[in-house]
Structure 1
Amino acid sequence: MRLFLREQRPVIVIYFIQLAVVTFVYWLDGYRNAAVSMYAVLLSSCLLAGYLVFRYLTHRSFYRRLQEPAESIGDFTDVKPSSPLSESLHRLLKSQYRHYISELSGQTEKIEGHIRFINQWVHQMKTPISVIHLMVQQESDSRSVAIADELDRLRKGLDMVLYTARLDQFEHDIYVETLGLEKLVRSLITAQKRLFIRGKVFPVIEMEPQLSVVSDEKWLTFVLTQLITNAVRYTLRENGKLYFRAYAKNGRTMLEIEDEGIGIPESDLPRVFDAYFTGENGRRFQESTGMGMYLAKEICWKLGHELDIESEEGRGTLVRMKF
């Protein structure tokens, strides 16, 4: 109704101005019967009111659709045009909607093609990495060890690219099952033994063996790998420890990973999970990309887990995952 009145306001104003002018002309011509003039004004006003009521009733759905916010891009299609103006606007919106859908489909196809290319490229790169790793794993000289370390970094970088590309299509690549938490952590520690040796960090497992969680093993393994990599990377002192704790609390399973590293400055803590945020520590360690913790948070959210972080600069960092 408000939109209708705002649109018809000029018509109403012009009508009363015209009525006043006509009445004034008749008054100048000598017709000064006030009762007849008022009767004419009343009849004319009734005609105007009838026109406005008819106009509102026939355009009510159109005005309501303009006034209410759209819930989706195709929400206008349920409006039935009731006048030439609304019909023309409806045709225009449908035409723009078709162009929008066409462009959106084209862009979506390009993005999906790009993701397919990234996935294929990552898998192709993993093959020579595995071959080189087999060539140097039996060697114990410092050069071969350095090559193996760089291969580990390269493999983790490729995994990050792959999981980042798949994140938007997460629901197409998920398999939920019951996982033994201690077994999963021990297998991760074994897979990352070169990282622990290079960083001179010792893992300490304090977990109840019967604890299990419901999750996707592949995505959860990627998240835990990111957390372990960060913990070891920022533990500078030799013979530092990385604690893995798991326990049940209030009907939920908690997994804590606590390091004895340099910690996170208090000013950086609220932005740790932001994409591309490296913070003060990231500027000191050039390997930081600012994507590891962001991906961990996003994957945990999609899996239905919670990820919290506590840290004190100079004392270490504790990351808690709630299942």
Structure 2
Amino acid sequence: MENYLDEIHKSRLALLPFQEVYFRKMGAIFYEKKVELNQAKVQLQEYSDELLAWVHEVKAPLTAINLMLEHVEDLELRRKLENEWLRLHLLVDQQLHQTRLHSIEKDNYLTEVELKPIIYKEIRAMQAWCIEKGIGFDVDNLTETVLTDSKWLAFIVRQILSNAIKYSPADSEIIIWTEADATEAILLHIKDTGIGIASEDLPRIFQKSYTGIIGRESTQSTGMGLYLAYNVAQKLGIRIHVQSKIGEGSLFTLRFPLQNEYAKLTGR
């Protein structure tokens, strides 16, 4: 600490005695807070590493259980178990991506990505849930490609799709299509005919742990999915827009940035 204070002292002009005491006191406080901040950063990194290790440990038995489910002969029982497995898998997946969110800049790879394979893969992953509720999909050709990170984009789509399925009535349909806006940016639309979102909830649906009026009526709602999706989207330059009314379903739109917008985002 003495060296730290000496450096501050050398950088100053001659001071009066009371000023000298003041600056030394302030220097000592700054040094103490700097040490505390560094210790907090180390502790946060250790906690993050431990949490990631735990998530990876949990994923191994989840994979094993999923394989075992294929051998359950009772179809009704299998579907119930698959649904419970999917709920657990989605929660673990959320925790994994939440832990990685603070370092997403080091964990993304921007490249040309086809939308169709990503959308279809996420739909297939939730097939058991959709079969149980009788939910179908009306999917456009989705021939467009966008410049983004495929893994993080899949996570965003997963959160929106899981919400659409969760809050849609039985025997309903989710519609997915794309178009270009006036600036030629690609828009990906995901529309459900579910219970919708109250107008007073719309400005806050992307806030952490906010479940809204509907969420309070469901023990399955954590309020984390849309919060994480929104924060990931921001870091990728994707804008998420929502239109919804109670009883009329919700329309989520992802706007992918243009090439020049990506350049501003990444500084390249």
Q: Separation in 1 of the partners of 2:39 and 2:14?
A: 34
Give, in whole Å, the separation in 2 of the partners of 1:241 and 1:230.
Answer: 13
Offset, 1:90: 2.5
Residues 78/179 of structure 1: CA separation in 2 closer, same or farther (3 Å cut): farther
Which residue in the other structure is 1:242 paired with?
174
Map of 1:82 onto structure 2:
14
Structure 1's 284 and 106: CA in aligned 2 closer, same or farther, altered over 3 A?
same
Kindly indicate whether the alpha-carbon contact (under 8 Å) linking 1:203 and 1:244 is maintained by their aligned counterparts in 2.
yes
- Cα distance in 1 for residues equivalent to 2:104 and 2:19: 42
| Alignment-derived partner of residue 166 in structure 1 | 100
Does residue 219 of structure 1 match 2:152?
A: yes
3-state SS of 1:122 partner: helix
Where structure 2 has 5 or more consecutive residues not aligned to the other structure, the ranges are 1-7, 257-268
- Tell me the SS of whatever aligns to 1:284: coil
SS in 2 for 1:276: coil
> What residue in structure 2 maps to residue 143 of structure 1?
77
For 2:159 and 2:73, the matched residues in 1 are separated by 27
Look up the match of 1:102.
35
Aligned to 1:185: 119
Structure 2: how far apart are the matches of 1:77 and 1:157? Answer: 53
**Distance in structure 2 (CA, Å) of the matches to 1:196 and 1:189:** 9
CA distance, structure 1, for counterparts of residue 36 and residue 101 of structure 2: 23
Higher fraction of helix: 1
Q: Distance in 2 between matches of 1:218 and 1:313?
A: 32
Are the aligned partners of 2:164 and 2:194 in contact in 1 as well (CA < 8 Å)? yes
**TM-score normalised by length of structure 2:** 0.87
Post-superposition shift, 1:166? Answer: 1.4
Structure 1 residue 78 displacement after superposition: 9.9
Q: Percent identity?
A: 28
Q: 1 CA distance for matches of 2:138 and 2:166?
A: 17
* Unaligned segments of structure 1, at least 5 residues: 1-75
Look up the match of 1:115: 48
> Which of 209, 214, 221 is the equivalent residue of 1:276?
209
Contact 2:109 2:149 in 1 (8 A): yes
Separation of aligned partners in 1, 2:132 and 2:158: 16
Question: CA–CA distance in 2 between the matches of 1:132 and 1:186?
Answer: 23
In structure 1, what is the Cα distance between the partners aligned to 2:222 and 2:186? 30
Q: How does 1:1-323 map to 2 (within 5 A)?
A: 80-84=12-16, 85-141=18-74, 142-209=76-143, 211-236=144-169, 238-249=170-181, 250-323=183-256
Task: Give 2:174's aligned amino acid.
Answer: L
Q: Which of the pair has the greater relative contact order for Cα pairs under 8 Å at 6+ separation? A: 2
* Contact kept? 1:231, 1:261, Cα under 8 Å: yes
Larger deviation, residues 290-299 vs 165-174: 165-174
Report the number of matched residues: 246
Cross-structure match for 1:29: none
Going from structure 1 to structure 2, the CA distance change for 1:77 and 1:229 (only over 3 Å counts) comes to farther
Q: State the AA in 1 paired with 2:27.
A: K
For the pair shown, the structure with the greater C-alpha radius of gyration is 1
| Whole-Å separation in 1 of the counterparts to 2:167 and 2:211 | 13
Q: Is the contact made by 1:137 and 1:148 (CA closer than 8 Å) also made in structure 2?
A: no
Indicate if the aligned counterparts of 2:172 and 2:193 stay in contact, CA closer than 8 A.
Answer: yes
Contact kept in structure 1, 2:112 and 2:147, CA below 8 Å: yes
Matched-pair contact (CA < 8 Å) for 1:207–1:244: no
Q: Cα deviation per residue 1:99-123 (whole Å; 9 max; x = unaligned)?
A: 1111111111111111111100011
